[in-house]
Structure 1
Amino acid sequence: MTTVAGVALVLGVVLAGLVVVLLLAVALQHRQRTRRQARDARRRAELMPTVHALLDDPADDADDDPAADPQLASAPRLLDDLVLDLLPQLRGSDRQALQRVLAARGVVGRAAADLTARAAWRRGRAATLLGSAAATEHTPALAARLADRSADVRSAAARALGKAGDPASVTPLLAALAGPRPLPLGVVGMALLDLGTPVLPALRTALTDGSPAARALAAEVLGVHGDPAAAPGLLALLHDRWQPPEVRRAAATALGRIGSPQATAELTQLLATGPVPALQRVAAEALGRIGDPAAVPTLVSGLHATDPGVRAACADALAAIGDEGRGRLRVLAIGSSPAGRAALAALDAVATARQWRRPVTSR
């Protein structure tokens, strides 16, 4: 027993010693990290005047080579991190000035070379950096990474193309929705939205090109932008019965967001004769957004559809159109049929919305 107790005591002392060593190691690591963060913060503060001087340069110095500045050329790598952190917050000439700094210091060139690195993390980091630097001259190289064997690199390349702002990126981004390594729809959609309104002409062209997923996403983004010039192309998609249902749904939704009354006839036709309830629902929702009173009779008929989703969408659309639509709903709400219940639910929703919008008066 004495031997067992002695062994237990020794093990306890060893274990306590290990715990103390571990705690000391954690404390030392924390102290080193704190010192490093303080040092980086101090260096960043020292470099900020240099960055401010770059941003204060007049616009006519755009052709000057930043690399000719000895202070800038000898600045530590931390300056590159500081510039990259600031870039997303800047626009116009300020952003261009810092982009020239990154190019002059070789940051952009090294990132472009890393796009073909063996390690996936280096390829992804390079794509992200090129996007932040808005290096549009590297659009083809970034577009090639959309087919990278790594899913993370493909997504990084898509996001980088969106941030870089080159309208020529629309075609490869939409093409990346199909193929053996397709990109997620949300990633491509956000990249297209980041590109802004300069890509609207390319998106209109894409309505007739590419895969069904590409046509549907192009329609969706055009609708988000509310592009009136896209209405004819969207109407053509909606009218084409050979288009896949997801493409026609996206076209109907986009026309509703654009709010074009010229789409009323096509949308009412789709609501009345739609092959599937999903198409009828989006047609009713689009008609509600457009608000054309000419759609009221078809929407009233839609209240008697067999699909409850179609009935609810038609009732909501009638409520959105205005007094004429709500008047029809009040008449139908008297009954207890499925149409009456849908009408009553839509009217209740309107009343609730009005109550929430009512200003609160203090007593």
Structure 2
Amino acid sequence: MTSVQLVSVTLALLLLAVSVLGAVIVTGRSVRRARQRRDARLAAEVRPLLIRLTGGDEDVEEVLRRLAALDRRRWNAVRASAVGLLGKVSGQGNAALTRLFEERGVARDAVADLSRRGSVRRARAATVLGLLRHAEAVPDLTRLLADRHPEVRTAAARALGRIAEPQAAGPLLDCLAGGRVPSDVVVQALIAIGPAARPALTKAMAHTAPEVRAIAAEVLGLIGSVGSVSALIRALTLDPSSDVRTRAARSLGRLGTPACLDALTDAVGLTYPTAVRAEAAGALGDVGAPAAVPALRALLADHHYRVAHHAARSLTRLGGPGTETLREAADGALGVRAAAHAREALAVLALAEGRHPARPAPAP
């Protein structure tokens, strides 16, 4: 075979391969579109049953029986819609959907999918188990907090928050170290667990990773753990991390006990870092005790803007004594710097109350 013939044969084979590949692509697209149209038609037929199941206005037993008996094609076509509804409905509708998923073996299949190779499949399974609040899956979901794919770890953390089993609180806190799961996802999950997470949160206040201690301090305030005041005061006073101390101050403001007031009053002192002083000044407003007025008054002329700014805003939340202090400062009794912060705070207070801010007095 000459070189010319060899080139001709090669080109012919390439053209054939391209033609075959093109035919495969076109056929594949046609098949996929046909399948999508079929699934859309089947889903449209079944969706009214789902609406009836979740409406809560009728006896659902017959509807449930019909949905549970669907053939595989129809169920697969409507499954995504059913999962979407599970995250949107509550009460009887949610309970009816959960029964449907149990009868269809969805939870069992999802637990099996947690160990599959595909990360998308594992993440989707974790999401479904969370929506179903399938408590038996907690150990498997906890294991996924160490998955090598971030989307799987995040889905597992969200699912654990939905299930709200207290045993998940410790692993959720541990996965904060090194940023394995976004902190906001972990915070929401721990809030969902609620006061039952307190033992794990208190233990985490001694964790070696400052990011874990910081989130633990934050959540203790968010869940209203008054029994953790001593641990938070210890963190505010002694923790080497400024972030931990700042979050501890914020939580003490939310809890608002007399011990919190004393600790926060101390924390606005000059021996504390500026960020902690500023947060403590803001937290004194959260406590809402008029006894904080003298400490906040002294901060209005502070050289650090955030400290003085937060002190002024806190005074607007302490009723008559706080407002009177701001008016006194606005008139210049505590100096120019304090007057500027006081006037700003009073203007914001007036706007919040639907009043026009008072015009500052002209300079003499």
Partner-residue secondary structure (3-state), 2:331: coil
Which has the higher mean CA deviation after the structures are superposed, 30-39 or 274-283?
30-39
Query: Does residue 278 of structure 1 match 2:275?
Result: yes
Counting only pairs closer than 5 Å after superposition, residues 35-114 of structure 1 correspond to structure 2 as: 36-46=39-49, 56=59, 72-76=68-72, 77-78=75-76, 80-91=79-90, 95-114=94-113
Q: Is the 8 A contact 1:318 1:329 kept in 2?
A: yes
Q: Where does residue 137 of structure 2 map in the other structure?
A: 138
CA–CA separation in structure 2 for the residues paired with 1:172 and 1:356: 50
Q: Where does residue 211 of structure 2 map in the other structure?
A: 213
Deviation at 1:136, TM superposition (A): 1.3
Taking structure 1 as reference, are residues 228 and 91 closer, same or farther at Cα in structure 2, changes over 3 Å only? farther
Q: Is the 8 A contact 1:175 1:210 kept in 2?
A: no
Q: Is the 8 A contact 1:174 1:210 kept in 2?
A: no
- AA matched with 2:46: R
Q: Gaps (5+ residues) in structure 2? A: 1-28, 357-364
Q: Gaps (5+ residues) in structure 1? A: 1-25, 59-65, 358-363
Taking structure 1 as reference, are residues 50 and 306 closer, same or farther at Cα in structure 2, changes over 3 Å only? closer
Q: Aligned residues: percent identity?
A: 35
Taking structure 1 as reference, are residues 285 and 50 closer, same or farther at Cα in structure 2, changes over 3 Å only? closer
Which has the higher mean CA deviation after the structures are superposed, 199-208 or 319-328?
199-208
Taking structure 1 as reference, are residues 175 and 32 closer, same or farther at Cα in structure 2, changes over 3 Å only? closer
Q: Is the 8 A contact 1:237 1:248 kept in 2?
A: yes
Q: Is the 8 A contact 1:80 1:107 kept in 2?
A: no
Taking structure 1 as reference, are residues 305 and 214 closer, same or farther at Cα in structure 2, changes over 3 Å only? same
Taking structure 1 as reference, are residues 41 and 265 closer, same or farther at Cα in structure 2, changes over 3 Å only? same
- AA matched with 1:158: A
Q: Where does residue 162 of structure 2 map in the other structure?
A: 163
Q: Is the 8 A contact 1:285 1:314 kept in 2?
A: yes
- AA matched with 2:304: D
CA–CA separation in structure 1 for the residues paired with 2:203 and 2:31: 61
Match of 1:232 among 226, 230, 233: 230
Deviation at 1:139, TM superposition (A): 0.9
Q: What's the CA shift string for 1:289-331, capped at 9, x where partnerless?
A: 1122222222122122210111111111122212112222222
Match of 2:181 among 175, 180, 183: 183
- AA matched with 2:209: S
Deviation at 1:49, TM superposition (A): 5.3
Q: Where does residue 361 of structure 1 map in the other structure?
A: none
Taking structure 1 as reference, are residues 211 and 94 closer, same or farther at Cα in structure 2, changes over 3 Å only? farther
Deviation at 1:338, TM superposition (A): 0.9
Q: Where does residue 348 of structure 2 map in the other structure?
A: 349
- AA matched with 2:40: Q
Q: How many residues align?
A: 323
Q: Is the 8 A contact 2:54 2:92 kept in 1?
A: no
- Superposition RMSD in Å: 3.4
Deviation at 1:27, TM superposition (A): 12
- The TM-score with structure 1 as length reference comes to 0.77
Query: Does residue 257 of structure 1 match 2:257?
Result: no
